[in-house]
Amino acid sequence: MKLYGHFAGLEEQFPIAMRNVVCGAECGAGWFVLCMDLIRLCDERGVEVSQIKQKFGELRFYVGEAPSEVHEAIRIATEKSKTICEECGRPGRLAGKHWIATLCDEHRGGGL
């Protein structure tokens, strides 16, 4: 699968981790650093990433078979994502009724 946006080109930079991302990588730029730390760890440990996305306002980072340290890093990043604006990376909080997202005051605006 071809990756787009801020994830474009990562297949070349992290050939092991990003070789078979079957469902894409879709989350805002504010979580990019969280994702990059996980992608780098996965590549170093020979773990393939299958999907990266936002669901219910949290980062969801799915991998194939992986050691416990990778799963623990994913758990920590997921918890952090609940406090970081998905759009810009500033402090944020969960908000919304129909579509839940973690956003800062500026990006929450009147939409959620």
Model pLDDT for residues 27-85, shown as the tens digit of each residue? 889 999 999 999 999 999 999 999 999 999 999 999 989 999 999 999 999 999 999 99
Could you give the CA distance from residue 31 to residue 77 in angstroms, rounded to a whole number?
9
Cβ contact 87:30 at 8 Å? yes
Tokens 């969801």 — which residue?
Answer: 60
Which domain does 97 fall in, by range?
5-108
For residue 63, list its beta bridge partners: 49
Select from 58, 65, 49 the least CA-distant residue to 13: 49
Cβ contact 83:93 at 8 Å? yes
Could you give the CA distance from residue 50 to residue 26 in angstroms, rounded to a whole number?
12
pTM metric for this prediction: 0.88
Q: Give the number of domains in the chain.
A: 1
